[in-house]
């Protein structure tokens, strides 16, 4: 390319061709314009639109992402490109990725077009898809796997029962009783620590920490701005102040995320901000740092309802 004007020329010719719906030729012009740093961002956005018009949705997703990474846009322009990206992801049935982008749009530009409705529809759709019955093909695969593993499982169960039987025989065998003199009992009593524990013992601290935590099993989605982390998991315990999530996604300590919770019976709701206080193998703990009063009441009511009697 000879210079900035050449890039601008390619871009303008692309706009003319796109206007008369000659998308394949317009695509070529816009791709030429992307090599000009001053035109690259908006040219990639137009490349994405041409790919969409040609039915090449996967290529369109890549182009919109390149536009967001390459170009310098105003807030409204950036939100428009994010909206196109989310729509394209939605058309590819990449529902979770689309949800993450829609929620990012809502944080940057509340009430933008129909983003709230799309988030609600996609959230409900994802929840339903999680509960769909397996297809006959999937069931056949599971049955085949079971037939293959059944002999090994039967052997393992037989070995386990034999070991349990031997252990039971050992428990029933009487053991000799060792009599201890009174002086030995006194010495043993002096060596034995008092049975009562101080209030600062690890057991008491653990029990206090777990007070109010209710064992649950709910779907969850989470996403952050910086660093960009997004994923889904399962909430295993819940309290008014936080929760524990199991997920294959590793979230760094201190990361602030928006956390969506999907009750088994009821509408999904969001904790606006929660901070990662600890993480381990395929799980992490969140403390709720910014919660709307209505959501706080909903969590408290849920904990009271699910608490064991």
Domain count for the chain, please give it.
Answer: 2
Helix, coil or strand: residue 242: strand
Question: Maximum distance among all alpha carbons in the chain?
Answer: 106
| Domain final residue pick, 95, 130, 165 | 130
Q: Is 189 among the domain residues?
A: no
Q: Is 221 among the domain residues?
A: yes
Instruction: Tokens 């990639």: give the residue.
Output: 44
Q: Do 119 and 228 reside in the same domain of the chain?
A: no
Instruction: Report the CATH number at residue 65.
Output: 1.25.40.10
Note the Cα 38 to chain centre separation in Å.
37
Mean pLDDT over the full length of the chain: 77
Q: Is 32 among the domain residues?
A: yes
Q: Which of 62-71, 224-233, 262-271 has the lowest mean pLDDT?
A: 224-233
Tell whether the model's pLDDT for residue 41 goes beyond 70.
yes
Q: Is 166 among the domain residues?
A: no
Q: Do 9 and 125 reside in the same domain of the chain?
A: yes
Q: Do 111 and 20 reside in the same domain of the chain?
A: yes
Q: Is 197 among the domain residues?
A: no
Q: Is 232 among the domain residues?
A: yes
Domain hosting 95: range is 4-130
Instruction: Report the CATH number at residue 300.
Output: 2.40.10.220
Q: Do 225 and 123 reside in the same domain of the chain?
A: no
Q: How high is the pLDDT of residue 108? A: 85
Q: Which of 87-96, 112-121, 147-156, 290-299 has the lowest mean pLDDT?
A: 147-156
Tell whether the model's pLDDT for residue 252 goes beyond 70.
yes
Cα angle 296, 221, 272 (rounded to 5 degrees) comes to 35
Q: Do 16 and 117 reside in the same domain of the chain?
A: yes
Long-range contacts of 202-207 (CB under 8 A, 24+ apart): none
Q: Is 30 among the domain residues?
A: yes
C-alpha to C-alpha distance for 179 and 192, rounded to whole angstroms:
18
Q: Do 126 and 220 reside in the same domain of the chain?
A: no
| Domain final residue pick, 83, 110, 130 | 130
Tell whether the model's pLDDT for residue 102 goes beyond 60.
yes
Mean pLDDT of 295-305: 88
Q: Which of 173-182, 220-229, 284-293 has the lowest mean pLDDT?
A: 173-182
The better pLDDT of the pair 173, 261 is held by: 261
Q: Do 22 and 112 reside in the same domain of the chain?
A: yes
| Domain final residue pick, 75, 110, 130 | 130
pTM over 0.95: no
φ, ψ of residue 245 in degrees (nearest 5): -120, 135
The residue ranges of DSSP E strands in the chain, in sequence order, are: 214-223, 230-238, 242-246, 256-262, 269-280, 283-290
Tell whether the model's pLDDT for residue 65 goes beyond 60.
yes
Q: Is 51 among the domain residues?
A: yes
């Amino acid at each position: 390319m000879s210079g900035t004007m050449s890039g601008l020329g390619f871009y303008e010719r692309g706009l003319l061709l796109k206007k008369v719906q000659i998308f394949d030729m317009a695509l070529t012009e816009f791709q030429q314009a992307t090599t000009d740093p001053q035109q690259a961002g908006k040219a990639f956005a137009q490349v994405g639109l041409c790919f969409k018009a040609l039915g090449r949705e996967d290529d369109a997703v890549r182009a919109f992402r390149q536009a967001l990474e390459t170009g310098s846009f105003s807030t409204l322009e950036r939100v428009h490109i994010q909206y196109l990206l989310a729509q394209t992801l939605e058309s590819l049935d990449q529902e979770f990725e689309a949800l993450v982008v829609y929620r990012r749009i809502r944080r940057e530009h509340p009430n933008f077009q129909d983003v709230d409705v799309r988030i609600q529809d996609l959230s409900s759709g994802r929840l339903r898809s999680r509960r769909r019955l397996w297809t006959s093909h999937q069931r056949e695969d599971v049955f085949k796997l079971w037939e293959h593993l059944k002999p090994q499982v039967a052997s393992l169960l037989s070995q386990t029962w034999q070991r349990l039987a031997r252990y039971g025989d050992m428990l029933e065998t009487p053991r000799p009783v060792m009599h201890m003199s009174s002086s030995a009992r006194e010495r043993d009593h002096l060596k034995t620590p008092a049975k009562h524990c101080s209030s600062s013992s690890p057991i008491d601290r653990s029990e206090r920490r777990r007070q109010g935590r209710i064992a649950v099993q709910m779907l969850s989605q989470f996403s952050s701005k910086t660093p960009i982390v997004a994923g889904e998991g399962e909430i295993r315990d819940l309290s008014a102040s936080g929760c524990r999530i199991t997920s294959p996604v590793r979230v760094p300590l201190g990361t602030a995320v928006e956390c969506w919770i999907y009750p088994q019976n009821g509408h999904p709701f969001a904790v606006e901000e929660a901070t990662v206080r600890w993480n381990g193998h395929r799980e992490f703990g969140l403390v709720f740092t910014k919660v709307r009063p209505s959501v706080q009441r909903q969590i408290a009511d849920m904990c009271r309802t699910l608490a064991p009697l």
